[in-house]
Amino acid sequence: MKNQRLFLILSFLFIVFHVHADDLDDFIRSQMQKRGIPGLSLAIIQDGKILKAQSYGFIDKDGKVPVTTNTLFQAGSVSKSVAAMGALYLVEQNKLLLDEHVNVKLKSWKVPDNEFTNDKKVTLRGILSHTTGLTVHGFPGYTVGAKIPSVVQILDGTAPANTPPVRVDFVPGSRWRYSGGGYTVMQQLMVDVTGAAFPEFMKNKVLSPLGMNNSTYQQPLPPELAKLTATGHYNNRSLVEGRWHIYPEMAAAGLWTTPSDLARFAIGIQNAYAGKSGSVLSQSMTRQMLTDQKNRDGLGVFLQGDSTTLRFGHNGRDEGFDALLTASVDKGQGIVIMINANDNSHMMGRIVDFIADYYHWDGFPVKTKPAAVDVDPKTLTAFEGRYELFNNRIITFEADNQRIFTLEDGFIDEEFVPVAHNKFTSTDRNVSVIFNPDANGNVTGFTLEDNDQGYQRKVPRIGPLADAQKTNADPDPSRTPKIMAALQAMVKGGKLLEEASGLTLGAKRDFAGGMREPETLKSLTFIHSENVAGRGIQRHDSEVSEIVTYQLKSNQPDTYILVHLTSDGLVTDCDLVEK
């Protein structure tokens, strides 16, 4: 009878656990369906061990080959965190110094000196914490079959490199700015110091010691590993040509891995922090790694939470792949999520919050369900449109059924519930938006309230949804051919862009390598123009005075293009949108 009772209890616990597990799996699958994500793989860390490794969906949108927990994904900028551990290992071996001028050990290439480096020099600490003043935010990689530049060619921006040269353009240490270019300098520094190829060094000193046996920095992948990969998808869910891009900028963006291997990396940091044996770094070096240098940036990882809930992590994006790693410093918890799509939504954050709530982890924001009020449908419609959330980052609202929703990549994303006639609160986060009309009643922006961070800031309006506007007569048809020529130059890049008129210097600089989308520009049909002068919108170092919406005839059907103009009519940026 005793054994029977024990059997019944264990059976009950088994059923309860699987019901809950199904709840988690169902939530993830529903999020993938909502966002059109082909494949997802994750790993959950609990008590310093991998508690759950699970895969969902398929390696591509054809839906024939399932993703497994051993399917390789590109880690994007999470590559930086793993590479940082390799650099800090060399510091502990006295091969590198955190605060030494990197030119002392660089052999194949040197950081060019200029007026910004007279008194302060580029250091490894500055590279790891994005405070060196080095340029080039990120890298688009190279299509399969394209000519691949050397790291030195990338650093100097010479052919066949597709990014500008990596240079210092503010005094090192004076402020924070994200720089993939800096990590590429670090890659060359590590190669020069060790005399080993970067993938080989990282395998021997970091990946293998941590048991990351499904991971590699090899670019391009050898054929036997290429068979194990997922296929990348852009934010419109089109396939990346050749399945993925090649990243010779390995330290910045070139790691192929799995969530379970990245979980092992996170556990390695947790163990080292706790002083446990078998880690790549010492306890003291790991504590330096997890110390805020500037802007909540440690040495290769970003930091969240306070002293009792401190977490480290990094997000990543390569062409067609997104990744997220977040882990507690001393609680033995963590999550790694990898998808084979570029997705600009809050989906990964929703999954992280669901998992944290599911396992009762503290240190994550506690959300309260907002109580809704009725709002006039015409008022809701007035709030629809686009807003400049951050520089070069648009947020789009669409109204439906007494709610407003954000649109990301053409898919519904975050729901906002009306709590007052002009105030809406997110169901995902402790965030609210308060829409602000001008003296004439026209909405010119909203106030963003972040209750977790305790701040408010103004977000300017760009204009209405394009598909809500009827085609209007162009008030200045003579400028459309000029705008078309400028956009065509931005698509092509190179010499055509250099010689083009009608473009700001910032646009010429930042689109030197051309634009991936649209591939062709056939005609523009005027839809709408919005005067945004004085709203504080800036693109590529120029103030935006007017935003003109055109319907675009190109290789992409049913697409609109927002053209950002300065007060003197120069094109300084453009955005492709679907509504």
Which domain CATH number covers 422? 2.40.128
Q: In this predicted model, what pLDDT tens digit does every residue of 523-547 receive, in sequence order?
A: 899 999 999 999 999 999 999 999 9
The amino acid at residue 220 is: P
Quick one: 321 and 192 in the same domain? yes
Q: Half-sphere exposure (CA, 13 Å, Cβ side) for 205?
A: 22
547 burial (CB, 10 Å; 0-12 / 13-18 / 19+) is: buried
> Is residue 15 a part of any domain in this protein?
no
Quick one: 428 and 571 in the same domain? no
Per-residue model confidence (pLDDT) at position 473: 84
Quick one: 140 and 199 in the same domain? yes
Boundary-marking domain end, from 463, 479, 511: 463
The answer, yes or no, to whether residue 334 has pLDDT greater than 90, is: yes
Question: Looking at per-residue confidence, does 474 or 137 come out higher?
Answer: 137
Look at the block and give the residue holding tokens 């402790």: 430
> Is residue 9 a part of any domain in this protein?
no
Look at the block and give the residue holding tokens 């209750």: 451
Element (H, E) at 365: none
Quick one: 398 and 496 in the same domain? no
> Is residue 339 a part of any domain in this protein?
yes
> Is residue 170 a part of any domain in this protein?
yes
Which domain CATH number covers 332? 3.40.710.10
DSSP character string of 175-236: S----HHHHHHHHHHHHHHH-S-HHHHHIIIIITTTT-TT-B--SSPPHHHHTTBPPPB-TT
The segment with the largest mean pLDDT, out of 217-226, 366-375, 386-395, is: 217-226
> Is residue 404 a part of any domain in this protein?
yes
> Is residue 20 a part of any domain in this protein?
no
Q: Average per-residue pLDDT in the chain?
A: 92
3-state secondary structure of 401: coil
Quick one: 430 and 310 in the same domain? no
Quick one: 249 and 205 in the same domain? yes
Boundary-marking domain end, from 429, 463, 497: 463
| Tally of domains in the chain | 3
> Is residue 60 a part of any domain in this protein?
no
pLDDT class of 577 with cuts at 50, 70, 90:
confident
Quick one: 84 and 223 in the same domain? yes
Structural domain that includes position 442: 377-463
Please state the rounded mean pLDDT for residues 425-448. Answer: 90
Quick one: 148 and 226 in the same domain? yes
294 secondary structure, DSSP code: B
As a whole number of angstroms, the distance between CA 278 and CA 48 comes to 14
- At residue 521, φ and ψ (nearest 5 deg) are -130, 110
Quick one: 146 and 205 in the same domain? yes
> Is residue 46 a part of any domain in this protein?
no
Q: What percent of the chain has pLDDT over 90?
A: 78
Please state the rounded mean pLDDT for residues 225-232. Answer: 98
How distant, in Å, are the alpha carbons of 2, 208, 256, 258, 324 from that of 213?
A: 45, 6, 11, 10, 19
Q: How many residues does the chain have?
A: 579
Q: In this predicted model, what pLDDT tens digit does every residue of 147-161 receive, in sequence order?
A: 999 999 999 999 999
Boundary-marking domain end, from 358, 387, 409: 358
**C-alpha dihedral, 173 to 176 to 182 to 183, nearest 10°:** 120
DSSP character string of 107-132: -S--PPP-GGGSSS--BHHHHHTT-S
How many other β-carbons are positioned within 10 Å of the β-carbon of residue 291?
11
Quick one: 349 and 395 in the same domain? no
